[in-house]
Amino acid sequence: MKKMLKSALALAMGAVMLMPVTAFAAEDEPTLISTQEVALSPSGANTRSAETKEFTLSTYEDNGRTVYSFDVEDEEYRQAAMEYINELTGDPGPTPQTRGILQPGESEYHNDTQYDGDAMSYAWKRNTAGQTDNNFEGGQSSLWSGSGNCDYIVLNQGISVSGIAVSISWPPSVSGSGSSASWQSQPVYDNVAGASFNGLVVGGTAFSCTFSENGDVYVGSRIYRPTTTIKFSYFS
C-alpha cells in the first residue's frame, strides 16, 4: 500500500478521524452532452437470445460528473449495458496487485458488486501513488434487472478519509467538508446508469480512504439500495 505512513504514527490526539457522510441533493440540472445508438449483445445468466440490438446511450454532465444512461427496456440486455458503461468510466478490470508500499507511479485497484432484490450496483476505484500523495479515480454503475421498468435511478457517492495532518484536494464534482465528501446525481429515467470519478488527491499521513456508493432504484413505492464499499487501507 501507499507510503503514507512515512512519519511516525505520532499522537492519537493529532489524528483526524472521519465519518462517512450522506449524499447531498444535486443543485444543478444535468446537461445533455450527447446521445448515440450502441449495439449490444445480451449477457448474463438469464440470456435466452443471441440477437444484437441497438439501444440509446445518453451522456450528461451532472453536478461536475460525467453520467451515462442506457434506455434498455429488454431485461436481457441490461447487464451488457452496464458492462458498456463500466468500460466508458475506464474500468481496467482486476490486475496483479502491488504488494507492500506503493512506489511513485504504481497503482492499487479494487472493485465491488452488491445486490438488493433485483437492483445491482458495481463500483471500481484505482489509487496511483505520486511522490507525496495518492491520486484516485474510478466509476460506478447501477441497474434494474426486474420485470418492467424502474421509475428512475439516483446515483450516490460518499467519501471519507482518516489520518494525521491529511491534505485533501477534492474534485469539483463533490461537496467536501473537512475530510469527507459526497455527490448525488439527478434522477436518471432509465434502467441502467453510471458515472465516472476522478480528481481526488490525498496527501499527508492517511490511514484509509473509503468510498461508499449506491444507486437508489425507485420502483413504485419501493426503493432498492445496493451499496458498494471500497476501502484503501494504508496499514498493510
Query: How far is residue 233's CA from residue 141's CA, in Å, rounded to a whole number?
Result: 23
Query: How far is residue 158's CA from residue 44's CA, in Å, rounded to a whole number?
Result: 29
Distance spanning both ends of the chain, measured CA to CA: 6
Provide the residue-wise pLDDT of the chain in tens; the chain has 236 residues.
444 433 333 333 333 333 333 333 445 688 999 999 999 998 755 556 678 999 999 999 998 899 999 999 999 999 999 999 999 999 998 766 665 678 888 889 999 999 999 999 999 999 998 988 999 999 999 999 999 999 999 999 999 999 988 889 998 888 888 899 999 999 999 999 999 999 999 998 888 999 999 999 999 999 999 999 999 987 54
Name the amino acid, one letter, at 88. Answer: L
> Does residue 80 sit in helix, strand or coil?
helix
> Does residue 84 sit in helix, strand or coil?
helix
Query: How far is residue 85's CA from residue 68's CA, in Å, rounded to a whole number?
Result: 7
Query: How far is residue 32's CA from residue 66's CA, in Å, rounded to a whole number?
Result: 10
Task: Give residue 93's region: left, alpha or beta (phi > 0; psi -120 to 50).
Answer: left
Query: How far is residue 164's CA from residue 159's CA, in Å, rounded to a whole number?
Result: 17
109: Cβ contacts below 8 Å, ≥ 6 apart: 92, 94, 95, 97, 124, 125, 126
Query: How far is residue 210's CA from residue 120's CA, in Å, rounded to a whole number?
Result: 20
Q: Compute how many other C-beta atoms are within 10 angstroms of the C-beta atom of residue 19.
A: 10
Sign of CA pseudo-dihedral 28, 180, 97, 124: negative
| Confidence (pTM) | 0.83
Query: How far is residue 64's CA from residue 48's CA, in Å, rounded to a whole number?
Result: 39
